[in-house]
Amino acid sequence: EVANRDDAVDPGTMRGDIRFEHVDFWYEDEKPILSDFNLHVKPGETIALVGPTGGGKTTIVNLLCRFYEPRQGRVFIGDRDYTDLSLHAIQSRIGIVLQTPHLFSGTIRENIRYGHLEASDDEVEQAARLAGAHDFITRFDKGYAEEVGEGGNSLSVGQKQLISLARAVLARPEIFVMDEATSSVDTLTEALIQRGMETLMKGRTSFVIAHRLSTIKRANRILVIEDGRIAEIGTHADLLRERGKYYQLYTKQFRHQMSEAFDPFSAEETAPIAAD
């Protein structure tokens, strides 16, 4: 169980400069998931994580969010080992959007405001506009006062993600983490989700477990994660030119999908985000 150290501090701000140094990780009674994992991410950089199920993508994100800590090795945020920082300092500065976002029983406004409890109604609406959620919200009879039910069961998967994006926009995180939904959404909703992601990623260090080619192509760097290691790293164009693992994954799926709105890699489960 992850716990604060007695002398843990809140640094005030975090630059979004992130380093994984010689990180090993395994879940209880399981084989190693990450082995000697090393990565340096610069402030404002967008990283797309792709690869087969079980390769370690969600584990990287779980460690970044400090849902777990390395068994060996260290993670730095800025120039500080993140175990020196309080859990609240880290997790309150990371905006997280999952494949199946958690919404609670209440109104749409209350669910968005969860990202910043002191926010005004105007700030909630502005966040929804930036995330691309405002138009669908206002189609409900009660608008932002619409009740969504436990888990948001009255909403579609795409609508849940848009509300979750609005919540993250409102929170103004310094780091953004997203596990893209693999469920089918209509073309318009997908375009809105993409636009909301762009809003959140702009100027922020971002990690995206990517299932859509449009997201992958926009990343500063793509990491192909396989067997707990970085099998390949580079831009979309660079990796295609190398004709390696990324090229094989891309062409295998592209022949079947022939679309820019497909899942080029297998889905990955999520829970803290879930174990690989």
What strands lie across the sheet with 229-234, from one edge to the other? 94-97, 175-179, 205-209, 46-50, 221-226, 229-234
pTM: 0.86
Walk along the chain (276 residues) and give the pLDDT tens digit of each residue. Answer: 788 888 888 877 777 899 999 999 999 878 899 999 999 999 999 999 999 888 999 999 999 999 999 999 999 999 899 999 999 999 989 999 888 888 999 999 999 999 999 999 999 999 999 999 999 999 999 999 999 998 999 999 889 999 999 999 999 999 999 988 766 677 888 888 888 898 889 999 999 998 888 888 889 999 999 999 999 999 999 999 999 999 988 887 654 544 544 444 443 333 454 545
Class of domain 1-91+219-259: alpha beta
Q: What is residue 177's predicted lDDT score, i.e. its pLDDT?
A: 94
Q: What is residue 6's predicted lDDT score, i.e. its pLDDT?
A: 84
H-only helix segments in 142-275 = 157-171, 187-201, 213-218, 236-242, 245-257
Segments making up each domain of the chain, as ranges = 1-91+219-259
Contact assessment for residue 103 and residue 151, using Cβ atoms and an 8 Å cutoff: yes
Q: What is residue 182's predicted lDDT score, i.e. its pLDDT?
A: 63
C-alpha span between 24 and 72 (Å, rounded): 5
Q: What is residue 269's predicted lDDT score, i.e. its pLDDT?
A: 35
Provide Rg for the chain, Cα atoms.
19
Q: What is residue 184's predicted lDDT score, i.e. its pLDDT?
A: 64
